Amino acid sequence: MIQDINIEDLSLQYEEVADAKWATMEEIRELVQTGEFIPYHILDTLFTMIESKISLRKATVEDAEKLFEIQRKVFEPLYEKYEDHETTPVNQTFERFKERLKTGDYFKITLENLLVGSVHVYPKSPGVMRFHMINILDEFQGKGIAQQVMMRLEGLHPEANRWELDTIQEEKRNCYLYEKMGYVQTDEKWKVNDKMTIVHYVKTTRLNHMPCL
């Protein structure tokens, strides 16, 4: 929740806070350089989120038809390429899709208020979150949207110390993105057919353990 506050009304914890003032992102970076501000490891991620034109909005049943169509558009080229008849989301029923909306968190991805995709995450077990599916329409791919969305969702779940996802081994661009973001491919693999293999990625995160500096 964001709200306006009067800075004079803040109660500062004497042992931890010397003073408080409004500052721009550039001023905070300068304060970090001079040692006057703690160099929290999440600052760069936080600033990227603030400057981003990308928004995540919780999906509802009313969004189901649009998001179902986006999912089909995203996966149809992959279905034609790999012919994964049994696993492709292209063959998912609309009723099954609506049930998915009720599991975990399903978000609409907007870029300057334009719907460009969706993302679904859910808790697999205590402390473990899973990216189930990230859908970005083809005309908006290659703009860093998926990376920003993943960073934001990781930040929204500081209770998670581990994230997991599956992807197609043959889709090298996707594998590169996940590895760039700190995900590590495990030995778990599932050969769908002669054209396609699913691989498993994990990432250990410590957003819930802020280092003492």
Q: Residue 110 falls within a domain, yes or no? A: yes
Which of 142, 141, 157 is CA-nearest to residue 107?
Answer: 157
CATH number of the domain that 111 lies in? 3.40.630.30
189 located within any domain:
yes
Domain containing 200 equals 52-204
Phi then psi for residue 147, to 5 deg, are: -60, -45
Q: Note the pLDDT tens digit of each residue in 4-14.
A: 667 777 777 76
Whether 15 maps to a domain, the answer reads no
Strand pairing class (162-168; 128-136): parallel
User: Is 118 within the bounds of a domain?
Assistant: yes
- Provide the pLDDT confidence category of residue 64 given band limits of 50, 70 and 90: very high
The total number of structural domains in the chain stands at 1
Kindly state whether residue 18 falls inside one of the protein's structural domains.
Answer: no
Q: Give a yes or no: residue 1 inside a domain.
A: no
* Residue 16 confidence (pLDDT) above 90: no
Structure tokens at 127: 């402390």
For 137-154, write each residue's pLDDT tens digit.
999 999 999 999 998 999
Q: What is the pLDDT of residues 34-56, one digit of tens each?
A: 988 888 777 777 777 777 789 99
| Inside any domain, residue 149 | yes
pTM, full prediction: 0.77
Residue 25 lies in a domain: no
Q: Do residues 70 and 89 touch, judged by C-beta distance below 8 A? A: no
